[in-house]
Copies of this chain bind each other. A is one copy, B any other.
Amino acid sequence: MRSCLSIGLIGLGRMGRVYGAHLSQRVPNARLVAVADLKPGLAESFAREWGVPKWYESYQNLLNDNAVDAVAVITPTSTHRDVVIHAAKAGKAIFCEKPISISLAEAQEMLEVVESTRALLQMGFQRRFDAGYIAAKKKIEEGAIGHAVLLLSTSRDPFLPPLDFCDPRVSGGLIMDMGIHDFDVARMYMGEVKTVHAVGGVLAYPELKSVGDVDNAVINMVFESGAVGAAHLSRNAVFGYDIRAEIWGTKGSLQVGYHRQTPILVLNREGITHDAVPHFMERFENAYLAQIQNFVDNVLQGRPPSITGRDAVAALRISIAATTSLHEERPVDVREVETAHHGSVPISRYRGSSDASR
């Protein structure tokens, strides 16, 4: 076992900088030895601020650096294929933020290279590292709720991301961008999903019609075990960030999540009020740290990845099936999502004039 992992970070957008700060300061057995971002000057300024010895504009140069044992890929999803395949061929251990891709064909190509090169690829789904989600998993395994028969996973954002990101050709759309977390959570607690049925619409932000995404969706799931479930997705939780799960069993149930950010109640004539978790970083900062720490530990100790590429593809297929269901207004069997026919997410139906009346 090596005592410390030399790691390179590719992508210094908002999430990349969070991973960079964690890797610089809070993961004792990692050393952030290089950063790369194609935006001119960004890698250098980040490196100087955080004491990272090397920086690159080209991720290829970082991948060719022999001092780098492992990489964290926090680039836009559209670049994951190229970066991960290159990294696998360069012999690096790879941590890749979700989603693996919005194209099933691309994702399967990535898996093939990862498997043929025997690279270690660990995917990022940070809810699995949140104290609440972990405790629920443990309670289920201890038998606290008997046999799990129903799951509800909720994801609600406080506002709409930038429209160009909402474009399904970029992010895959609401169901893929947000729902993929819920589908990963669903698989963690309940096993494989067999069929999905989604309904949704442009209900809160009419400007979304210009890019063809929806802002609310409700998705039914039937698991291969026969159990059932649902994922509820919204972009209009205007009070804050609403992430919850309920797992119902034959002997009890579990509820994961919380809303209050600051431990203070205000009691006055307007009622009794507390604040809310503002957004995902306030909610999941510790989970992001635990997740990258787990990756580092897995590499150093020769353990398999905690979340594999196959997990990422499974969640991707559910996302594609659910998006297809939304567009075709019918239940979709996840097994029907194969490269040839449903290799990417449908994007047409919800496009329209942004000034359409609601």
Residues of chain A from 195 to 221 with CB closer than 8 A to chain B in the complex? 195, 197-201, 203-204, 216-221
* Cβ–Cβ contact B268 & A144, under 8 A: yes
Pick the contact of A262: B135, B236, B262, B329 (CB < 8 A).
Answer: B135
* Cβ–Cβ contact A269 & B239, under 8 A: yes
| Chain B residues within 8 Å of A271, by CB | 239, 266, 273-276
Smallest CB-CB separation from A144: which chain B residue? B266
Q: In the complex where A256-B263, A271-B273 touch, is A203 in contact with B236 (Cβ < 8 A)?
A: no
| Chain B residues within 8 Å of A270, by CB | 270, 273
Smallest CB-CB separation from A271: which chain B residue? B273
Separation of A299 and B142 alpha carbons in the complex (Å): 51
- How many copies of this chain does one complex carry? 4
Interface residues on A, range: 35 or more
Q: In the complex where A217-B228, A230-B218 touch, is A203 in contact with B265 (Cβ < 8 A)?
A: no
| Chain B residues within 8 Å of A55, by CB | none
* Cβ–Cβ contact A232 & B230, under 8 A: yes
Pick the contact of A228: B147, B203, B239 (CB < 8 A).
Answer: B203
Residues of chain A from 50 to 80 with CB closer than 8 A to chain B in the complex? none
* Cβ–Cβ contact A228 & B216, under 8 A: yes
* Cβ–Cβ contact B139 & A266, under 8 A: yes
* Cβ–Cβ contact A250 & B204, under 8 A: yes
Closest Cβ–Cβ distance, residue A4 to chain B (whole Å)? 11
User: Can you list 17 A-B pairs with a CB-CB distance of less than 8 A?
Assistant: A130-B263, A135-B262, A149-B236, A216-B248, A230-B232, A236-B249, A237-B253, A237-B267, A238-B251, A238-B252, A239-B268, A239-B272, A240-B267, A259-B272, A266-B271, A267-B276, A270-B270
User: A-side interface residues toward B, CB under 8 Å?
Assistant: 25-26, 28, 130-132, 135-136, 139, 144-145, 147, 149-150, 152, 156, 195, 197-201, 203-204, 216-222, 226-230, 232, 234, 236-240, 248-276, 329-331, 358
The 3 closest A-B pairs by CB, nearest first: A252-B268, A132-B263, A149-B203
